[in-house]
């Protein structure tokens, strides 16, 4: 027999069962395994069976926790995108509240460095995510994910650049910004190439130095395009 609240007379809603630590751990293991396999094999090459095996879970667990393969892929992209967006916006806010005038270099630094710091820290999951984002950015099939996960924050930074260059048209700013994002993704996923090419000189640049170089490179290219 359904019970009613003595205070309101309304029928009580059934209590939702709390998610167990084991269930949360399984969901996280699936996300981590999917992140690695999607990055290594692409969306089509990573099967649900392989993801479940890598996570040490049953195939049915993927349906239970993440509905299907496509939803799982979207959740893998989304979970770190929100963290990156917050870090980037906080970095931009800190730059704007500083005593120095906001510059193009400062805007680009606030956008590029959080990603490079995460991808360059050696965490294999963040390295996998860097490859995954590069894949998503290059495949129009996932444009809705990019629009939802990345474009709102990118729009904030593009607006700041437009303020610094009021005579530049929006298309040129967008093109220059995408070039900068591509350079960032390339650095994140191909650092080993830099190390291999620099091996002859014995120079193995740290990520901090590479980030400085990237900001200068992108700012110079963007400024050349916007001031022409």
pLDDT digits (tens, 9 = 90+) for 171-225: 999 999 999 999 998 888 887 787 787 776 666 668 888 899 999 999 999 999 9
47: containing domain = 18-66
In degrees rounded to 5, what are phi and psi of residue 21?
-60, -35
Q: Looking at the 3D structure of the chain, how many domains does it have?
A: 2
The verdict on residue 131 lying in a domain is: yes
SS3 percent helix, strand, coil of the chain, rounded to 5, is: 75, 0, 20
Q: Of 9, 38, 66, which residue is a domain's last? A: 66
The verdict on residue 210 lying in a domain is: yes
The verdict on residue 10 lying in a domain is: no
Q: Which of 98, 78, 94 is closest to 31 using CA atoms?
A: 78
Tell me how far CA of residue 213 lies from CA of 1, 3, 105, 113, in angstroms: 70, 67, 11, 11
- Domain shared by 53 and 90, yes or no: no
Give the Cα separation of 117 and 119 in Å (integer): 6
The verdict on residue 8 lying in a domain is: no
Cβ atoms < 10 Å from Cβ of 31:
20
Q: pLDDT tens across 21-67, in order? A: 888 889 999 999 999 999 999 999 999 999 999 999 999 989 888 88
> The pTM is what?
0.82
Q: Across the chain, what does the average pLDDT equal?
A: 87
What's the CATH code of the domain at 50?
A: 1.10.10.60
């Amino acid at each position: 027999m359904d019970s009613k609240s003595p205070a309101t007379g309304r029928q009580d809603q059934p209590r939702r069962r709390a998610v167990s630590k084991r269930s949360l751990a399984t969901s996280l293991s699936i996300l981590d395994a999917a992140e690695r396999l999607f990055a290594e094999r692409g969306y089509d090459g990573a099967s649900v069976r392989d993801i479940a095996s890598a996570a040490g879970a049953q195939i049915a667990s993927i349906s239970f926790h993440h509905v299907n393969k496509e939803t799982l892929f979207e959740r893998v992209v989304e979970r770190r995108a929100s963290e990156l967006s917050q870090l980037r916006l906080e970095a931009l806010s800190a730059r704007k509240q500083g005593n120095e005038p906001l510059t193009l270099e400062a805007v680009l630094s606030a956008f590029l460095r959080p990603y490079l710091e995460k991808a360059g820290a050696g965490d294999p999951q963040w390295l996998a995510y860097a490859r995954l984002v590069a894949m998503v950015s290059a495949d129009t099939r996932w444009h809705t994910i990019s629009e939802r996960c990345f474009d709102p924050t990118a729009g904030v930074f593009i607006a700041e650049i437009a303020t610094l260059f009021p005579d530049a048209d929006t298309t040129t700013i967008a093109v220059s910004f995408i070039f900068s994002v591509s350079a960032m993704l390339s650095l994140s996923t191909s650092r080993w190439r830099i190390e291999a090419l620099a091996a002859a000189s014995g120079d193995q640049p740290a990520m901090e130095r590479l980030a400085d170089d990237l900001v200068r490179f992108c700012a110079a290219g963007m400024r050349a395009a916007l001031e022409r």
